[in-house]
Amino acid sequence: MRYIFNFPDIGEGLEEGTILEWYVKKGQQVKTGDNLVQMETDKVVADIPSPRDGTIVALFGEVGEIAIVGEPLVEIEIEGVHGEEAQEEAKKEFAPQPDESEDLDDEEAAGVVGTMETAGKSAVLAASDEGSDKEDVKEDKPMRKALATPVARAMAKDMDIDINEVKGTGPSGRVTKADVENFKPAKKGTSKKQDIVKGDDVTYEPLTQIRKAISKNMINSKHSAAHMTVFEEVEISELINVRARYKDAFSKKDAKLTYLPFIVKAAVHALKHYRQVNSQMDLENDRMIFNNRYNIGIAVDTAEGLVVPVIKDADQLSIMEIAKQISELADKANARKLSMDDMKGGTFTITNYGSIGGLFATPVINYPQAGILGVGRIIKKPVVKNDEVVPGSVLSLSLSVDHRIVDGGEASRFINKVMEYLADPIALLME
């Protein structure tokens, strides 16, 4: 029996992915769970496992090409299922939908009898179909759902036209004789795979899935939320001393102690005081959603673009545990090994642009969250303590909130509470 495994939706709202690496080749035997291909989606790089035992018959798509969710990824020959048994299994999985039982003219009616093209789910084809017109689909090219009449199919074959590229105008999208006659093939060289093209003045490079996702999410955030940003500075000499005191002890336990774990902890405690900042608006149901968990997204700068893995239940973690999770997530992000679970469930986000450079910014909210805290660079500057001007270490902060949810006063009180904890880390640890 032939089994066509379609690219599954491995994320929320996933529509497509880029093929990064094939782990299998034609003729190779695979077991259920063996990795078939590495795909880059708009959220993560993920390995797609085989759903069945069998032998690889065909791969649909080359490295660098775009795979569409619901379209064929691989075709597998499954042993032990033959003839009528295979046909019956195929019929059960791909019984026609009610809207496909329309009245057809003679040409179209003939085309439906005994014909089953690729379906919306993972398709099953009987081994007895080998050598039929279904084999005409090119192995290295993604297939699309296509129905065609015998006349149109024969004409397409004579004209060396891939029937799957022809847009059908017949009932249920079936390809007719007229469709084949009017078909104009795409210019040679066009493909879903885009190469780097260098000109005299510019260089063209295809958008990565991550860059597409960043673009879409930023625009969605700006269009969906009313952004407001509050800027502040906090003197953190005490925090610097605490970090210096415990940095070596943390290092011996394989934990890198930076300032970020303290900032995460300060944000969590402040969120407990000001729950509006840890909420989101549900306009469809005319209600607010207040999060009872404190899942903090940490923006990580990678060579491929910005990703935001999530530290789950940060309120229940120690500074050391947070430090370890930050390091682990950053390593996974740079190695492109983040899972979907690593990226889900964030309720508030922190972006530490100061580790690279910059004092203040206007961070874009990770919609539908209500706020994001931007952390700037620490600089030495004069500060006033006990009515005296003394040297100080000042950390700049930027808090962007959705002004529909968080009022200006609430935003100011929240960032003041964060500053309070950072200025007095003992209070942070004693909370």
Reported as a single tens digit per residue, the pLDDT across 24-52 is 999 999 999 999 998 888 777 888 999 98
Residue 125 has pLDDT above 90, yes or no: no
389 neighbors 302 (Cβ within 8 angstroms): no
pLDDT at 141: 42
Sign of CA dihedral 123, 128, 134, 140: positive
Q: What is the pTM of this model?
A: 0.66
Task: Decide if pLDDT at 367 tops 70.
Answer: yes
pLDDT digits (tens, 9 = 90+) for 278-336: 999 999 899 999 999 999 999 999 988 899 999 999 999 999 999 999 999 999 999 98
Q: Which alpha helices (DSSP H) does 335-395 contain, by range? A: 340-343
Question: How many other C-beta atoms lie within 10 A of the C-beta of residue 261?
Answer: 26
Amino acid identity of residue 89, one-letter, is E
Look at residues 423, 401, 424, 378 and name the one whose alpha carbon lies nearest to residue 271: 401
Q: Computed over its alpha carbons, how large is the radius of gyration of the chain?
A: 28
DSSP string, 339-355: -HHHHS--SEEEE-GGG
Rounded to 5°, the CA angle 220-17-100 comes to 90
Q: Find the catalytic residue in 223, 227, 269, 403.
A: 403
How distant, in Å, are the alpha carbons of 268, 361, 410 from that of 404? Answer: 21, 21, 12
Strand order in the sheet with 123-125: 29-30, 54-59, 72-77, 2-6, 123-125
User: Among this protein's residues, is 227 annotated catalytic?
Assistant: no
- Three-state DSSP state, 30: strand
Q: Which residue has the tokens 């200006």?
A: 408
Residue 159 has pLDDT above 60, yes or no: yes
Q: Measure CA of the first residue to CA of the last residue in the chain; give whole Å.
A: 63
pLDDT at 205: 83
How much of the chain exceeds pLDDT 70, in percent? 81
pLDDT at 207 over 70: yes
What whole-number distance in Å separates Cα of residue 259 and Cα of residue 237?
A: 12
DSSP letter, residue 275: G
10 Å CB burial of residue 106 (0-12, 13-18, 19+) is exposed
Give the residue from 158, 154, 153, 157 showing the smallest Cα distance to 168. Answer: 153
Q: What angle do CA 409, 413, 414 make, to 5 degrees?
A: 115
* Cα distance between residue 343 and residue 132, in whole Å: 44
Q: In what order do the strands lie in the sheet with 16-22?
A: 45-49, 35-40, 16-22, 66-68
Q: Which residues contact 365 (CB under 8 A, 6 or more apart)?
A: 221, 225, 227, 349, 371, 372, 400, 401, 402
pLDDT digits (tens, 9 = 90+) for 66-81: 888 888 899 999 876 5
- The stretch 132-155 carries a mean pLDDT of 55
Instruction: Name the more confident of 175 and 171.
Output: 175
pLDDT at 145: 47
Residue 417 has what pLDDT? 97
- Alpha-carbon distance values, 371 to 16, 205, 250, 270, 289 (Å): 29, 33, 30, 12, 14
Task: Tell me the two tokens of residue 339.
Answer: 């899972």
Q: Residue 298: how many CA atoms within 13 Å on its side-chain side?
A: 27
User: Is the separation of the CB atoms in 212 and 304 below 8 Å?
Assistant: no
Identify whether the C-beta of residue 138 lies closer than 8 Å to the C-beta of residue 111: no
- Minimum mean pLDDT among 129-138, 204-213, 378-387, 405-414: which range? 129-138
Distances (CA, A) of 79 to 3, 50, 55, 62, 69: 10, 15, 8, 26, 26
| Domains of the chain by start residue, with CATH | 2-182 (2.40.50.100), 209-430 (3.30.559.10)
Highest-confidence range of 13-22, 30-39, 174-183, 271-280, by mean pLDDT? 271-280
- Angle of helix 319-334 relative to helix 260-273, nearest 10 degrees, comes to 110
Spatial contact of 300 and 307, defined as CB atoms under 8 Å apart? yes
The position carrying tokens 């022809």 is 166
Residue 156 to residue 152: CA distance in whole angstroms:
6
Confidence (pLDDT) at 81: 57
**Cβ-contact 90, 126 below 8 angstroms:** yes
Q: Which of 2-16, 56-70, 220-234, 300-314 has the lowest mean pLDDT?
A: 2-16
Residues in the chain: 431
